[in-house]
Structure 1
Amino acid sequence: MQLIRHSASRDLRVDFFRGLALWWIYTDHIPGNVLAQISLRNFALCDATEVFVLLAGYGAGLSYGMRLRAHGYVSTAADVLRRAWTLYVAHIFLFVLFSAQVTYSATLLNRINYLEESRLDVLGDDPYRSILEAVLLRFQPSLLNILPLYVALMVFFALTIWLLRWPRVLFGVSFALYLVVRFTSLNLGAWGDEGWFFDPFAWQFLFVIGVLLACAPMRMPRYPRPLDVAAVVMLLIGAVVMTVILPQPHLLEWFSSSPLRLLVTEDKTGLYPFRLTSILALTWLCVRFIRFDASWLRSRWAAPLVLLGQNSLSVFCGGIVLGFVARIALEYDDHLPMQVAINLSGAFGMIGLGALAAWYRTKDRKLTRGAPTASSTTSATATALLPLNVRADTG
């Protein structure tokens, strides 16, 4: 059974890098994991979150841009909101599962710091209010703030998808909202905090850029070399900041008191401009130097990451749970054998979840194709809609 989706029009670069982002999220969330030292966040002014959001926008643009042309705004917006609801349900399920996992581990192992670090200690102090706030997405424990952002971005997309007919207008509205955040710190309210950890009013700009790259791709400039050089310089600056300046307090202090302080200002919540330009520079170089039909994307060694990227929701949720188990294991033994064990088990666990999700999807499609129909009209309609559903399924 073919678990990885291949087609002439499918861009496996998106699946591969989305899978890589999911792997980075897993490694970065485990304190003491040696593989976390070689993730994107150590060498650039951006990390897996930017990769994930940009590609989420790209996937949404591919999936729903075609539907907008075929079925109009109301039907397409309803489909987007249905996807937002799926993400919301997944987040609530993950919240319950992760809360049970952390609180049980904290009690069994007498590690109260688990509750404090994950911000789940309020479950004991004010359980009824905390559950209500979690349902309203105003209470987001540590590690559980990406899916609420994704839900908010999909709702924003549903409200603005009609502007895809005028891409420049959509870009202008999105950029204006981003500027408002930069100057006013506009954010959604959170329980016990000033706002969401990932400000959706800021991050929507990166999401919309991904949408527009899918639905209204820019023409390649006649002379792309200057942009190549600018992108490389931007990434080199990020590498210097992350590997040279930030680890040395005296350099960090000098930069903090100089006009260059914006280079070392960490504002992940509001997606500060250097994070934004870093991920765009990285995207430009990937598009320029990795061909759409690159043979290595269909190779066996790339297949695991492609599989993860094509089943991102299941893999992300499973990765959060597996990551906490790996953290507990490393606290008892952080030597090389345990490092190998937690990363191999995490990799195989996430691949297994991706394969299971792909198998269910493949099985359901086969049942749909083989199901008896009441009339020839119904059969023809189902056949006509099937390719659209296949293309729309972005994992």
Structure 2
Amino acid sequence: MLGALSSLVRPGRDLRVDFVRGLALWFIFIDHTPGNLLGKLTLRNVALMDATEVFVLLAGYASGLAYGRLLEREGWAPAAARVAGRVGTLYVAHIFLFVVFTAQVGYSAALLDHAAYLDELALDPFGQEPYRAMLEALLLRYQPHFLDILPLYIAVLAMFALALPLVARPLLLLGLSLGLYLIARGLDLAPPGWGDAEWFFNPLAWQLLFAIGVVLARADPAWLARRLPWNRWVAALAVLALVAVAVLLNLVWHGPARGWEPPAALAAWLAGVDKTGLHPARLATVLLAAWLVAHLLPAQAGFLSGRLAALFVLMGQQSLPVFCSGIFLSFLGRLAIEVSAGLPMQVAVNLAGLAALVAVGAVSAWYGGEGSRRRKPPAPGLPAQPGAVTG
């Protein structure tokens, strides 16, 4: 079985990117399942970052590789058109996800007489003003909980289409991106939401992380090795800093229940490390973690080609259908854990969820492979589907 899955993995890629992205998608499923004990071990509980930062950084990296090559070969207009097509695909996927998830949660709330589901997931406006809510969802101004990641990606990818000519001038691209980030944070500038609501992920700030991923993808490896070399003492300090942050986070969050009151200043600072505007501490954490992983996990690491790693590599290579399926599955997992939160159910939910996500990835990979054999082969040097995974 695992051997058959390995055969569906697309070769000729940096499998580290796909493997880490697959892990991030599984973490998103876990974090979106309330009551899941495994959630205590995911990134959001041990670092000033979570799977979203990983996802956006790697989305920028994948986009830089795929569309950067297309830009070099065919110019801005064809490359921008392909990016626009990808934006359209993501938009359709988001609206489909919105409709099905709303139906899933609404039906469950009515069947189980548990209206709190609607309130917790910010779906109650849909029950009060369904036509207006649908319109606002189409405009991306209404984003219920768990349905705010794809709008972020749609927005940053649309901005990337306009910024494609700057891919060849990375310093200018980073400078403009950083400037927009500082303006967005300094002036509290963000796209408008519906009523008093705001975008949970402000794309005007998060575009910086995406742009960094693009630049890293297009940079010469030798140049990167010179500018960001490995240093074991720096790495040791980085690991110590990450461990210290994990300890502090858990002391602040769980210390009072154990009789330890954290300093008020520390608690106040951590409360201000916002996710909406991609706080600099969150940005620094994900970049530091990326540096460590890039050096500690070689591109040719043997286990990446193994059967167990293939589960996550396959998920990472088929991230859009896997992500959408994970949203549905996480709510089903919640319903199951509410029936029984014991260890057997916890194990069953997590194993069944992982198996289902891998199955979605396998079916998507198989279908894509079948389709590619019916299409004309791509020109030499170009990927078959630029950005087909996450941009």
TM category (shorter chain) comes to: over 0.9
- State the match for 1:279 in structure 2: 286
The answer as to whether partners of 2:121 and 2:144 remain within 8 angstroms in 1 is: yes
1:172 lines up with 2:175 in the alignment: yes
* Structure-1 separation of matches of 2:176 and 2:63: 18
> Identity over the aligned pairs, expressed in percent?
47
The answer as to whether partners of 2:19 and 2:312 remain within 8 angstroms in 1 is: yes
1:390 aligns with one of 370, 384, 389: 384
- State the match for 1:221 in structure 2: 226
* Structure-2 separation of matches of 1:279 and 1:182: 18
The answer as to whether partners of 2:97 and 2:324 remain within 8 angstroms in 1 is: yes
- How far is 1:266 from its partner? 3.2
- State the match for 2:273 in structure 1: 266
Structure 1 residues 146 and 81: CA distance shift in structure 2, 3 A = same
* Structure-2 separation of matches of 1:220 and 1:356: 38
* Structure-2 separation of matches of 1:170 and 1:25: 30
- Taking structure 1 as the reference length, the TM-score comes to 0.91
Gaps of 5+ in 2: none
SS in 1 for 2:307: coil
- Matched residue count: 377
- How far is 1:246 from its partner? 3.1
1:254 lines up with 2:267 in the alignment: no
The answer as to whether partners of 2:251 and 2:262 remain within 8 angstroms in 1 is: no
* Structure-1 separation of matches of 2:294 and 2:313: 17
What does 1:115-130 correspond to in 2, within 5 Å? 115-130=118-133
The answer as to whether partners of 1:255 and 1:264 remain within 8 angstroms in 2 is: no
SS in 2 for 1:327: helix
The answer as to whether partners of 1:308 and 1:315 remain within 8 angstroms in 2 is: yes
- State the match for 2:10 in structure 1: 5
- State the match for 1:16 in structure 2: 19
* Structure-2 separation of matches of 1:354 and 1:383: 23
- How far is 1:238 from its partner? 2.1
Structure 1 residue runs of 4 or more that deviate by more than 3 Å after TM superposition: 221-224, 249-253, 261-264
The worse-fitting range, judged by mean Cα deviation, of 276-285 and 222-231 is: 222-231
- How far is 1:190 from its partner? 0.7
1:185 aligns with one of 177, 185, 188: 188
Once superposed, what is the RMSD of the aligned Cα atoms?
1.8
Q: Which is bigger in relative contact order (C-alpha 8 A, separation at least 6)?
A: 2
The worse-fitting range, judged by mean Cα deviation, of 185-194 and 358-367 is: 185-194
* Structure-2 separation of matches of 1:48 and 1:273: 16
Residues 216-267 of structure 1: CA distance to partner in whole angstroms, max 9, x if unpaired?
255223763254245324313321222223323464452248xxx5345230
1:348 aligns with one of 355, 374, 378: 355
1:234 aligns with one of 232, 241, 244: 241
* Structure-2 separation of matches of 1:256 and 1:41: 18
The answer as to whether partners of 1:32 and 1:330 remain within 8 angstroms in 2 is: yes
SS in 1 for 2:278: coil
Residues 165-184 of structure 1: CA distance to partner in whole angstroms, max 9, x if unpaired?
11100000001111112211
The answer as to whether partners of 2:62 and 2:387 remain within 8 angstroms in 1 is: no
1:45 aligns with one of 14, 25, 48: 48
- How far is 1:386 from its partner? 6.5
Gaps of 5+ in 1: 369-381
